[in-house]
Structure 1
Amino acid sequence: MVGKATGFAVRPRRFTAIRNSMLCTAVSTLIAALPAFAAQTDQPPTARTVDVVDHLFGTALPDPYRWMEGAHNTEFQQWLVAQGAYTRQKLDALPTLKSWQDALQKISTSTVIHRAQQYVDGRLFFIRQGSGGNGTLMIREANGAERVLLDPATLTDHGGHASITLFSPSPDGSKVAVDIDHGGTEVTRLEVLDVKTGKPTGDVVEPVWGEFGAEWLPDGKGFAYTQMAPSDQRTGDDPIQDMRLRMHWMGTPAAQDAYLLRAGNGQGTNASFAIASNHFPDIQFPTGSRWALGMDQSAATEQRYCVTTQEQAVKPGATWRCIANVGDEVVAAAIHGDTLYLVSAKRRSNGELLALDLSRPDASLKDAHSILPMQDDEKIIDASIGDTQMVAPARDALYVKISKDGIDGVRRIDYRSGKVETIPMPLVGAASLFRTNDTQDGFLLELRGWTTPPKSWRYDPATSAMHSLGQDEASPADYSMVEATETELISADGTHVPLTIVHRKDIKLDGSHRAIIYGYGSYGMSVITSFKPVRLEWVKQGNVFAFAHVRGGGEKGEAWHLAGKGPNKHKGVEDLVAGVARLSELGYSRPERTALIAGSAGGLLAGGAVVQHPEKFGAAIIMVGMLNPVRMAEEPNGANQFGELGDPRKASDFPSVLAMDPYQQIRSHVAYPAVMLDVGLNDSRVAPWETGKFAARLRTATTSGRPIWIRTDANAGHGIQRSLGAEAAEYADIYAFLDAQLPAPAP
């Protein structure tokens, strides 16, 4: 799904076990001798206040830091930079920072990861990423030879901070369209490269949001793309609104590109496929089919899907037939031949795979029939971020990813016979890559575990065999002493919530250990199994890292998502806080030794816990967090969130949006825990002023004397694309901060 305020993953790193064990011993020695920091005697730069009170639906909402809002706000930017400088000074003085930096940078610099693999015409396209870079686009030829197609570090005309957010090879593999982000804003320039020479073809379109790539025609003569609107044509000056779908023919000027669809009103509007201004038009042109699949996408889980012929779809004013609309609870779709495949949560919360014959002129959703028998606890719905598809048409068959208890498998459905086959998995784990190409047989797959590095394969249906891509990641250190325990917590209303606890095998359950508990809980996105050495290093030293699979996510299907969505957002907060109590009950930690960590939309969880339950845990880390949703209509990407959080401008939605707003729930004269807020100065998904307002107000309200710090990154945005070294530096700061704020483990 696109345009979401999403969390982000820290990529794995490599490190030598001998050197790592020495560093861990040094850090552990420092931590054991370190008392919790005393109350701060100096203060970060103060923030002025203004006398602003909104009166909405009979409720008065004081907003003393309203001045921080708005784009190109020089005063706020200067204040935020000063905050970052203050925090940097305080972090650099923490006793364990240097040891954490040495440990995490070591595993970072020794790591090379491979991601976003695509197999086209015997060639493997992929991103190779090391510590210092954001990822280089590579190609492996059929003979095994590898070469660079594009290294964004060479694009020095934008200060050397470019990254590749997406790439799309043409169906024959002769060209590749690359989304290039300059500066972490996720606003990209889409440029086409000739694969043989590696040189640009001269075909360039911009600006394009970084989650939208080129949608190639089967013959490769052109592609459709979703373009951001000019600044004077955006609703509320929101760059994410009023996007338009355009058609580019290779070798022609981009200015001549026709408008096929658009969100909102204006050039490109299509009466047969009207799209709200805060949604996004997109399209697919499946190879071997006469049909095009049009998509009306948003941050909501369900999407609209419409069809027309490919011949008509490339022309302005095409007549579309909409099969799935809002309320039909269709979350994914794909086409092969004349068959439209749909994943629906209407009758089954965990998802149902339907097939519809498009050759029937009057075919509608009611004519779709179920084609995949599933057990009650098997789940087809998957809203996790990454290179994974739910329904994946290949040339030979339809492949479907099925999850059960966090473990992924693949089913193969023969196009002609409808026979369902379970593909044996090479190891037990979760898929971080599952992708097909409708011009190729089989699929690409990558699996990983909590303590198992990712391994990747290409499945060949002719031999029913998995062939290694030769890109398996080795563990950067010995984590054989670490294991994951799957259990449950019991939330305030009695609901049983899955809880994953990663810990040393020899841990003493005496409550003496520092712990971190992570949650997200939005958009139906599951917290999936992941191998992250930057987190395992925390555990290796005797700490605990836990994951609360709170309501609002998708771990138990769409019903689980709805149970924590909108008016139910408080349940996700209750789940997260109950996870702290569960860790204490089981003896892993104690509340005062436990910290919460969450990012992006997860800021509503961690921020909500800070203001609603400040006494139930020891500290919180909030990364690029959503913290003031009552004002989301006033920020870029805000209107896109209405489908998930509600529209604060509506009387029906306002009470629940206010209830989930951490900034507006801050109370004076309360002893709040220590909080560090992490923000990228170029964030286009969640406005940095949400962090600034929350921090400033929390400081004036707290009586605890505990620090409220803002950590800034001048070269980062929302954290979607960044170097491994930057991630290692961030977690070194986090761990050093928590060492200082959480009571030391008992001797």
Structure 2
Amino acid sequence: MPSMLRGRFSPYVALAACALALPAAAQTDAPPPTRTADVTEQLFGHTLHDPYRWMEGEHNAEFQHWLAAQGDYTRVRLDALPSLKGWQEDLQKVGETAVVHRAQRYVHGMLFFIRQTADGNGTLMVRAAGGAERVLLDPASLTGDGGHASITNYSPSPDGSKVAVDIDHGGTEVTRLEVLDVRSGKPTGDAVEPVWGEFNADWLPDGSGFAYTQMAPPAQRTGGDPLQDMRLRMHRLGTPAARDPILLRAGKGEGTNASFMLPSNHFPDIVFPAGSRWALGMDQSAQAEQRYCVTLQTDAVKPGAKWRCIAELSDQVHEAAIHGDTLYLASAKSRSNGELLALDLSRPDATIKDARSILPLQDDDMLINFSLNDTQMVAPARDALYVKVSRNGIDGIRRIDYRSGQVQALPMPLSGGASLFHADDNEDGFLLELRGWTTPPKSWRYDPAARVMRSLGQDEASPADYSMIEATETELVSKDGTHVPLTILHRKDAKLDGSHRAILFGYGSYGLSLVPSFKPVRLEWVKRGNVFAYAHVRGGGEKGEAWHAGGKGPNKHKGVEDFVAGVARLSELGYSRPQRTGLISGSAGGLLIGGAVVNYPSQFGAAIILVGMLNPVRLMQAPNGANQIGEMGDPRKAEDFPSILAMDAYQQIRPHTAYPAVLLSVGLNDSRVAPWQTGKFAARLRAADTSGRPVWIRTDVNGGHGIQVSAGSEAAEFADIYAFLDAQLPAP
């Protein structure tokens, strides 16, 4: 899956009526002042003004002081909202009972998984073949980190005797990768750092060592960006990490390989499939398509190996895997919804042009369908190849026999979207978890010998009764006439009279699809008589790679148009009215919601922007910025600059304009989207606004990008969001 570095809702009538006075009060009680120091520059024929550039840069004491003051101001205002206490009580109840199991891995009869409760960041557990469970690592037990350690990733060794764990000690997603002995639970002494939290250890088949993607030393990072110039190293157990050889490197310098060159803003990785002589090298970045190269495993573990690159970016391969001498490729080049190709690597002259299609698909079958869940598209197990195929948002699994090529559609235990689909080439079968919009996750391990799904015994219980809620699947019609899927969660007894407050969620980047997900914190919003809807806008992957391309780069405005049309559709169907509808998104979705705020300010009632990307013209000045070029474009190029400027919400703010109420949230440890993007946008919007409605910044001192948060933290954040929307969206 592409890295997300690239990269992961009956109103109280009386209370709401009192809260409607809040915007007027906010006019006389102004937030902390913000100084301006306009920077003007000419870029590719455009004159840009940047009055808040002083906020940029790491370790900017003035900005940090300003942001802290903004957070304090917002906290006081949020705490005064009439409905906040009620939301806190309700959401805390559903959060404190939640027990979530995720990231399951089945190895040699043992089930590894992370158990997450309301107040924890996730504990690494192991279940023995006999069913007994025990703790391998509880990050809360680690000392010297103020209690803020978390597990971002982990990888069991092929025989299950050891596990390599990515441990984040500060909320920045920069981790120390440590090896634990599974029997004793104690560290083996093998550890490497710094490793970005998404990258796990890729074990050798014999478990004698692993490859890992290491962040560059500060002095060797292009532009000072911590996510550039990464290198792929090999660690042998029991040897000093300082001696780990570099196998591949992004950018220039020690460890570069002439047969497998990577740009400085990409990430190298190597996997060593069991039962194969081949290693699979990957050139990853924040875009759906990736490069894939192969070489013999005996060569791959040595610096200077000769790699044979099979798939280039132009081949639009979204995922690849190897079993034996066969390379499997999920490509969108000839079919937007994806096709599965197989290539015989034993032919030394074989290229991707020699690959053959091996999986019959109907027109509406989706092979290319990314989500932020723990799912593979192509999953080689020991017994067969398993492939996830989606149709109308519902996932199914196909089994392809290695020898005969026979394809079998496996019967699914229930209808839903997969939040876990994983196979291991050392094991038979696969792990599967399915869930729906109102249905809690249920998980199984498929036993191919018995041809049955066996429950993992980790089915998530619903913390409350949501039987009164249903999901309606419909469409909106965008500005250019395109029909866009729209999912609406509402009470079954909801009157279609436009009286309900509504939240509309969208994302629209990287080809990521919004798939069914069970979110009690969001269902509580609906349970009270409100509406929570999902607009599956262009830029996502709901209708294949063409859907992604239709909202990417110069087409980014199409996703914004889809999003705003969703507000009108909710009104047309009678669920809400534009003034009663709030928009919410975050991260790269900041381009979507920021575009809606600055281009269509009168067509909805409020906006919630969570750790949003809002100033892409300054992409190259932000940590993790260069990594986004594949998706957003390059602001240093004349051909890309106009579309990047058009999607830059900060630069598109117009003075003397009435803007909707906006609540922005930011984690002070965010390493993916620089907090100054939120600060600059909020300050400029506030200065330009004539409506007098609030523009508030909610800060989280210990928070990062929100990739893995406890149920308690999520409940606290959404209590603030709902109370804010109660105050800003008119009651019936």
Length-normalised TM-score, structure 2: 0.99
- In structure 2, distance between residues paired with 1:316 and 1:511: 65
Aligned match of 1:379 in 353, 360, 366?
Answer: 366
Within 5 Å, give how 1:704-723 maps onto structure 2.
704-723=691-710
> Identity rate of aligned residues, in percent?
76
- In structure 1, distance between residues paired with 2:183 and 2:410: 35
The residue matched to 2:315 in structure 1 has which SS? coil
Within 5 Å, give how 1:365-514 maps onto structure 2.
365-514=352-501
Which deviates more from structure 2 when the two are superposed, residues 28-37 or residues 254-263?
28-37
Aligned residue in 2 for 1:298: 285
Aligned residue in 2 for 1:666: 653
- In structure 2, distance between residues paired with 1:353 and 1:732: 44
- Residue 159 of structure 1: how far off its partner (Å): 1.1
Retained in 1: the 8 A contact 2:513–2:541? yes
Deviations 1:695-746 (A, max 9, x none): 00000000000000000000110001221100000000000000000001x2
Aligned match of 1:86 in 73, 79, 84?
Answer: 73
- Residue 398 of structure 1: how far off its partner (Å): 0.1
- Residue 384 of structure 1: how far off its partner (Å): 1.0
- In structure 2, distance between residues paired with 1:193 and 1:54: 53
Deviations 1:309-360 (A, max 9, x none): 0000000000000000121111110000000000010100000000000001
Aligned residue in 2 for 1:13: none
The one-letter code sitting in structure 1 at the alignment partner of 2:547 is W
- Note closer, same or farther for the CA distance 1:407–1:6 as it changes in structure 2 (3 Å cut): farther
Aligned match of 2:539 in 541, 547, 552?
Answer: 552
Deviations 1:235-272 (A, max 9, x none): 00000000000000000000000000000001110000
- Note closer, same or farther for the CA distance 1:6–1:45 as it changes in structure 2 (3 Å cut): farther
- 2:38 matched to 1:38? no
The one-letter code sitting in structure 2 at the alignment partner of 1:490 is V
Aligned match of 2:224 in 237, 253, 262?
Answer: 237
Deviations 1:294-319 (A, max 9, x none): 00000011100000000000000000
- In structure 1, distance between residues paired with 2:5 and 2:560: 18
Aligned residue in 1 for 2:147: 160
Aligned residue in 2 for 1:257: 244
- 2:570 matched to 1:589? no
Deviations 1:475-515 (A, max 9, x none): 10000000000000000000000000000000000001100
- Residue 35 of structure 1: how far off its partner (Å): 3.6
- In structure 1, distance between residues paired with 2:718 and 2:81: 14
- In structure 2, distance between residues paired with 1:312 and 1:418: 30
The residue matched to 1:425 in structure 2 has which SS? coil
Aligned residue in 1 for 2:524: 537
- In structure 2, distance between residues paired with 1:36 and 1:497: 36
Aligned residue in 1 for 2:206: 219
The one-letter code sitting in structure 1 at the alignment partner of 2:588 is A
- In structure 1, distance between residues paired with 2:100 and 2:23: 41
The one-letter code sitting in structure 2 at the alignment partner of 1:595 is G
Deviations 1:576-613 (A, max 9, x none): 00000000000000000000000100000111000000
Within 5 Å, give how 1:156-195 maps onto structure 2.
156-195=143-182
- Residue 58 of structure 1: how far off its partner (Å): 1.3
Retained in 2: the 8 A contact 1:5–1:601? no
Q: Which runs of 5+ in 2 are unaligned?
A: none
- 2:23 matched to 1:4? no
- Note closer, same or farther for the CA distance 1:7–1:82 as it changes in structure 2 (3 Å cut): farther
Aligned residue in 1 for 2:559: 572
- In structure 1, distance between residues paired with 2:567 and 2:441: 29
The residue matched to 1:272 in structure 2 has which SS? coil
- 2:95 matched to 1:135? no
- Note closer, same or farther for the CA distance 1:7–1:313 as it changes in structure 2 (3 Å cut): closer
The residue matched to 1:158 in structure 2 has which SS? coil
- In structure 1, distance between residues paired with 2:15 and 2:441: 32
Retained in 2: the 8 A contact 1:379–1:403? yes
Aligned match of 1:71 in 58, 61, 85?
Answer: 58
The one-letter code sitting in structure 2 at the alignment partner of 1:38 is P
Aligned match of 1:701 in 682, 688, 691?
Answer: 688
How many pairs were matched up?
Answer: 730
- In structure 1, distance between residues paired with 2:630 and 2:68: 33
Retained in 2: the 8 A contact 1:165–1:180? yes
- Residue 156 of structure 1: how far off its partner (Å): 2.1
- In structure 1, distance between residues paired with 2:6 and 2:280: 25
Length-normalised TM-score, structure 1: 0.97
The one-letter code sitting in structure 1 at the alignment partner of 2:312 is N
The one-letter code sitting in structure 2 at the alignment partner of 1:493 is D
The one-letter code sitting in structure 1 at the alignment partner of 2:114 is I
- Residue 385 of structure 1: how far off its partner (Å): 1.3
The residue matched to 2:654 in structure 1 has which SS? coil
The one-letter code sitting in structure 1 at the alignment partner of 2:411 is P
- In structure 2, distance between residues paired with 1:33 and 1:473: 38
Aligned match of 2:326 in 339, 343, 360?
Answer: 339
Retained in 1: the 8 A contact 2:18–2:82? no
Which deviates more from structure 2 when the two are superposed, residues 105-114 or residues 33-42?
33-42
- 2:302 matched to 1:315? yes
Aligned residue in 2 for 1:15: none
- In structure 1, distance between residues paired with 2:311 and 2:701: 42
Deviations 1:642-680 (A, max 9, x none): 000000000010000000000000000000000000100
- In structure 2, distance between residues paired with 1:5 and 1:521: 16
- In structure 2, distance between residues paired with 1:35 and 1:332: 50
The residue matched to 2:642 in structure 1 has which SS? helix
The one-letter code sitting in structure 2 at the alignment partner of 1:108 is G
- Residue 4 of structure 1: how far off its partner (Å): 2.6
- 2:41 matched to 1:51? no
- Residue 472 of structure 1: how far off its partner (Å): 0.2
The residue matched to 2:309 in structure 1 has which SS? strand
- Residue 31 of structure 1: how far off its partner (Å): 4.0
- In structure 2, distance between residues paired with 1:334 and 1:474: 34
- In structure 2, distance between residues paired with 1:677 and 1:35: 20
- Residue 73 of structure 1: how far off its partner (Å): 0.5
Retained in 1: the 8 A contact 2:504–2:582? yes
Deviations 1:559-582 (A, max 9, x none): 000000000000000000000000
Q: Which runs of 5+ in 1 are unaligned?
A: 11-23
The one-letter code sitting in structure 1 at the alignment partner of 2:265 is N
Retained in 2: the 8 A contact 1:131–1:725? yes
Deviations 1:154-193 (A, max 9, x none): 1121111000000000000000000001121110000000
The residue matched to 1:185 in structure 2 has which SS? coil
- Residue 47 of structure 1: how far off its partner (Å): 1.1
- In structure 1, distance between residues paired with 2:42 and 2:231: 35
- In structure 1, distance between residues paired with 2:440 and 2:320: 31
Retained in 2: the 8 A contact 1:2–1:299? yes
- In structure 2, distance between residues paired with 1:552 and 1:28: 38
Deviations 1:100-151 (A, max 9, x none): 0000011111111100000000000000000110000000000000000000
